């Protein structure tokens, strides 16, 4: 059974801008199904395609199944079947023997920076970098699937 345990945090924009970071990877992703209890996502990541099925979150845990698919299939699925989409640049930042993934959103979600860390268990201890701000794990408005429907530019602070 596939399982994802992930915690999400906002990123301090000022600290992030000052920090040295590796090149990011451009993602285009869209949702074939976007329901509260399940999502089916297609992602283009540079020259790779993925199909991902995710279940409902319980705490920081949810079922997740991800499969590599041919790049042309991913493009065709996004172009012809995606009900909603977003794009972002993802940075992978090593910190204290973990990899933090920081998403800098583009388009209607420009200005939003979210950091994620995947864990082996919900109670696994980890260090938080100084560029990480408040935790938003479980706050559905930060789910990528929701950002395609209610983008950051429509929020009161966006």
Percent share of the chain, pLDDT over 70:
98
Q: Is the four-CA dihedral 80, 83, 89, 91 of positive or negative sign?
A: negative
What is the band of 36 on the pLDDT scale with cuts at 50, 70, 90? Answer: confident
- pLDDT tens-digit profile of 84-135? 999 999 999 999 999 999 999 999 999 999 999 999 999 999 999 999 999 9
User: Out of 31, 91, 142, 152, which one is annotated catalytic?
Assistant: 31
Any catalytic annotation for residue 31? Answer: yes
Number of domains making up the chain: 1
Whether 157 shows a pLDDT value over 70: the answer reads: no
- pLDDT tens-digit profile of 64-86? 999 999 999 999 999 999 999 99
Model-level pTM? 0.93
Q: How many CB atoms lie within 10 A of CB 7?
A: 19
Residue 51: CATH number of its domain: 2.40.320.10
φ, ψ (nearest 5 deg) of residue 64:
-150, 135
Q: Which domain holds residue 67?
A: 3-154
């Amino acid at each position: 059974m596939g399982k994802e345990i992930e915690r999400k945090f906002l990123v301090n924009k000022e600290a992030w801008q000052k920090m040295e970071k590796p090149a990011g990877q451009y993602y285009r992703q869209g949702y074939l199904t976007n329901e509260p209890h399940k999502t089916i996502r297609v992602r283009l990541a540079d020259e790779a395609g993925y199909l991902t099925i995710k279940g409902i979150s319980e705490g920081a845990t949810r079922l997740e199944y991800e499969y590599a698919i041919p790049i042309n299939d991913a493009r065709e699925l996004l172009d012809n079947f995606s009900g909603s989409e977003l794009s972002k640049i993802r940075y992978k930042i090593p910190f204290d023997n973990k990899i933090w993934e920081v998403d800098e959103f583009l388009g209607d979600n420009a200005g939003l920076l979210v950091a994620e860390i995947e864990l082996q268990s919900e109670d696994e201890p980890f260090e938080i970098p100084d560029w990480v701000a408040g935790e938003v794990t479980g706050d559905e408005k930060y789910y990528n699937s929701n950002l395609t429907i209610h983008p950051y530019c429509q929020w009161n602070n966006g």
